C-alpha cells in the first residue's frame, strides 16, 4: 500500500451531518445532497470534500454514530442552511489513495493498522478521514487520511 505524509492546516469547514450506521445508503444520500448544495453555492468545482466519521462504532452504538461531509471554506464565505460551520483541526496525516469500492475500502481497513505500525508511525487521537476531489470522484478514487503524530 503506497503512503505519503501530509501536514494539513487548521481550516474552517461547512458540513452536513448524518447520525446513524456508517457506510449505508444514508451516507451516500448525504454525499449527494452535500455535493448539490456545494454546487448551488459555487464551491464544488475546485474544492476538496472530506468525509469524517466522528465516532468509533465499537464504542458508540451504531445508530448514534456521527458522519460529517465537509468542504473547506474561507473565512469570508457565508455558509447557508442547511450546512453547519465548523473547524477542521488539521495536523499530520498518512495519506493512502484507494479505489472507492467496498472491496478496496474493506481491504484498506483490514491492513491499515499493521501498515502504520510497519512504518514506525503513531496514531493521533483524531478521526480517520476520507478525502475526495471532483477529479477523484470522476475516477471512483478517494484518499484515506490517517492522523499521525
Model pLDDT, residue 118: 92
Model pLDDT, residue 85: 97
Per-residue pLDDT tens over the stretch 92-108? 999 999 998 889 988 99
For cell 498518512, what's the residue? 94
Walk me through the domains of the chain, giving residue ranges and CATH numbers. Answer: 4-139+141-145 (3.20.80.10)
Q: Region 1-10: what's the mean pLDDT?
A: 94
**Whether the predicted model's global pTM rises above the 0.85 cut:** yes
Per-residue pLDDT tens over the stretch 9-63? 999 999 999 999 987 788 889 989 999 999 999 998 778 999 999 999 999 999 9
Amino acid at each position: 500500500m503506497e503512503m505519503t505524509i501530509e501536514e494539513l492546516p487548521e481550516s474552517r469547514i461547512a458540513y452536513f451531518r448524518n447520525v446513524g450506521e456508517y457506510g449505508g445508503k444514508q451516507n451516500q444520500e448525504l454525499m449527494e445532497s452535500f455535493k448539490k448544495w456545494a454546487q448551488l453555492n459555487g464551491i464544488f468545482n475546485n474544492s476538496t470534500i472530506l468525509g469524517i466519521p466522528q465516532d468509533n462504532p465499537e464504542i458508540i452504538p451504531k445508530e448514534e454514530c456521527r458522519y460529517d461531509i465537509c468542504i473547506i471554506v474561507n473565512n469570508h464565505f457565508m455558509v447557508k442552511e442547511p450546512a453547519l460551520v465548523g473547524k477542521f483541526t488539521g495536523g499530520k496525516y498518512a495519506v493512502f489513495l484507494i479505489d472507492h469500492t467496498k472491496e478496496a475500502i474493506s481491504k484498506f481497513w483490514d491492513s491499515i493498522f499493521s501498515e502504520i505500525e510497519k512504518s514506525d508511525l503513531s496514531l493521533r487521537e483524531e478521526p480517520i478521514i476520507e478525502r475526495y476531489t471532483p477529479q477523484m470522484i470522476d475516477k471512483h478514487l478517494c484518499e484515506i487520511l490517517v492522523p499521525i503524530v
